[in-house]
Chain A
Amino acid sequence: MIGCKKHWLAVLSWTALLSICPAALGSEPLIDRKTGTPIVPNVLNCLDDLFRSSSSFAVIRFVVTKPRATRTLEMKAWTRGTEEALIVIEKPARDAGTATLKVGDNLWNFLPKISRTIRIPPSMMLSSWMGSDFTNDDLVRESSLLKDFTATLKGRSKDPDGWIIELRAKEGLVGLWEKIDYILTPDASLPLQAKYYDRKGRLARTMDFRDVKVFDGRRIPSHMVLTPEDKKGQRTEMIYIAIDFDADVPESTFSLSQLERAR
């Protein structure tokens, strides 16, 4: 029996895409014993729990592949809940010290080269974050799968092997995605793939979840690959090097002065 633990971590809301339920600590069963099929609300709740974390510290590697160039970024990320996050780039030297602070819906970038902090205007929310395929919006968006989407179990998927759950945006929801198709592991505890469809119903991007690893006693996919549909030869990989769950992250971490000093 697979359970779902509350107070899961979200390094940023895009880590919410991880949708992972750590082993057997939770209260709600994910698979119906009688039918052997996933219990959709419990699975969604489990995915949603990613948003409800206390605090965390992680070391992440970002590999951004473009048609002509590949760049590897290494960064540290601190979070508290889903409202606050601080990301500081450590490598390469060219971008070292570049930092992003998220507090609620606000996003600030610190650029060490010009030693200036700039607030990202709402009009730029859909622009790329650090040249990756993640957008600024991915960093600040807060959505609850259970609250914002209507989910239906679509049956089994063959490749990859798992359950297909279709999420359709509820009416009146302001968001980018009309539909998200999740493929979950056969035990419905971990996501394998998520396909994002835009408001016109076109496939916009695909996220693959790979390399399940144990961090701090929890099983999560450690390697995520985001592939946009409209940009050929382009993808962004996010690889967790280390995660410290429930790390001691003081409130003062998420301030503008800390943003400019963060190392």
Chain B
Amino acid sequence: MVAFSGWNMPVQYSGIIEEHLYTRTRAGLFDICHMGEFILKGPSAAADLEKLVTCRVDDMPAGRCRYGFMLNEAGGVIDDLIVFRIAEDDFMVVVNAGTVSKDREWIEGRVSPETEFRDISDITAKLDLQGPLSREILGAVAGDGREAVEGLKRYNFTEMDLDGVTTLVSRTGYTGELGYELFFPPEHAERFWDRFMEQGVARPVGLGARDTLRMEMGYSLYGNDIDEEHTPLEGNLARFVRMEKDFIGREALASQESGGFSRILTGFICSGRRSARSHFKVKKDGEEVGEVTSGAFSPCLKKGIGLCYIEKELAGEGTGIVLTDGRVEIEAGIKSVPLYEH
């Protein structure tokens, strides 16, 4: 167990590699209660969110969710998040654990007076069920709700009765596998955990494997790969930014679009098992050309992998680089994400 943003989190249960591979082949159950959730309600909630996040909000039907960023005026990323449209005037926003208070302050200071804002993080438990068998497992636990589970498309969600408890179930996740995220009152968390385990298929998976799973997909981790000092353009995440609408940080991004920027985020695969870690320098022909932001061993590729910022001209597929912490030198090649594909 390890301390993380005021929570006591499991890094692993049986072992990171075993949990990782089990999630990719069968199913893993993750305790993600630490993440934050906000409610925004009212006739101006949609318009408020439209200004706050980079993804389109107004055209989302009820039951749809979308990934995007909340930016500061300089275009730097305050957080990455998912916006859920529960109803015309009713939204849930899911944010990272470490940024809950920062995000809350930012949003509260910028919503219309008639928008009701509530931080429901402390009264919302979250479990992620991810892996090829997750649909079957969730269907079995859902009983009568099984049809709703089977019909659920990616980035859609539904509210269902799970064991007598109203639960929001979205088809979203951080692993690259078929999977679901479940939101419900925390007093039921242990019972839900047991219900899933009773099926005898899913295994508990900790933060260690959560990190290696997302890294194989090339998904960014806030605080490592994206932060307030980098824009989504630098993060190679422009597809989650709708420049045709007005939002906080848009002007800064527009300047960056015309003015250019020097380094961009991309993936790499090391030549062998030795892995590079955060803050390793990226070198090309002896010159420092970038920095590693995430690095770990990939259980599927059996090589070191990660993400790095690198001079844009060198970000091409296959570019040979050397990753170093001053002591160790690791050869690697640039690979655009995902780093692992089924």
- A and B together in one complex: no
Chain A residues engaging chain B, CB cutoff 8 angstroms: none
Chain B residues engaging chain A, CB cutoff 8 angstroms: none
